[in-house]
């Protein structure tokens, strides 16, 4: 199908140019516009086909490199099959199978033991909503809370102070106090 595109395109350009020649009533500037447009379309088509050929060559080259790397990888797997562990170099007769087994992290983070992943619990946060009786902005209410209440002095672990759309403030803490 790609092979018959070029002849059909050439036929269309030639037809355009023949229409230009046949029409006697066509203004001179319109005739020149037809010639310029056909020329521009031809050059764009040639550029596109060249780009496609370059990309195809690049794709073929990368596919060859990929096959080469796959072959090297398969050769290395044959040399050291999975499940077979090499003996430890430090002590004779021991293998690395006695080491703790790590589970692969889901997002590429640090390695974590399975028992640690299961054991972790989410911390509970206690939430409190505060709204000003006076007409104060949320920033002013936050400043009043920080200055008058002073959570560090009374040893209350406030984690966050969030401003809500309706003028209230959400306070999150680690303890009920």
Segments making up each domain of the chain, as ranges: 5-78, 126-173
Query: Which position has the token pair 């199978």?
Result: 97
Question: Which of 143, 126, 132 is closest to 168 using CA atoms?
Answer: 132
E strand or H helix that includes residue 130? strand 126-130
pLDDT at 67 (0 to 100): 92
Beta carbons of 114 and 103 less than 8 angstroms apart:
yes
pLDDT at 12 (0 to 100): 82
Distances (CA, A) of 35 to 66, 76, 102: 47, 62, 71
**pLDDT at residue 33 is higher than 80:** yes
Contacts 24+ apart (CB under 8 A), 119-128: 123/174, 124/174, 125/159, 125/172, 125/173, 125/174, 126/172, 126/173, 126/174, 126/175, 126/176, 127/170, 127/171, 127/172, 128/170, 128/171, 128/172, 128/173
Could you tell me the pLDDT band of residue 22, with boundaries at 50, 70 and 90? confident
Note the maximum CA span of the chain: 100
> pLDDT tens digits for 102-141?
665 566 667 777 787 777 677 777 887 888 777 778 888 8
């Amino acid at each position: 199908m790609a092979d018959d595109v070029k002849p059909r395109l050439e036929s269309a350009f030639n037809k355009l140019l023949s229409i230009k020649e046949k029409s006697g009533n066509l203004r001179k500037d319109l005739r020149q516009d037809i010639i310029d447009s056909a020329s521009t379309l031809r050059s764009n088509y040639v550029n596109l086909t060249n780009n496609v050929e370059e990309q195809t060559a690049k794709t073929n080259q990368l596919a060859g490199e990929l096959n080469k790397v796959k072959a090297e990888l398969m050769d290395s797997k044959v040399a050291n099959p999975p499940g077979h562990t090499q003996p430890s170099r430090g002590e004779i007769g021991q293998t690395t199978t006695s080491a703790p087994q790590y589970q692969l992290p889901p997002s590429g983070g640090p390695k974590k033991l399975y028992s640690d992943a299961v054991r972790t619990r989410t911390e509970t946060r206690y939430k409190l909503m505060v709204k000003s009786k006076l007409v104060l902005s949320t920033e002013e209410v936050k400043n009043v809370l920080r200055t008058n209440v002073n959570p560090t002095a009374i040893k209350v672990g406030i984690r966050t102070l969030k401003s809500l759309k309706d003028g209230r403030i959400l306070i999150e803490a680690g303890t009920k106090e």
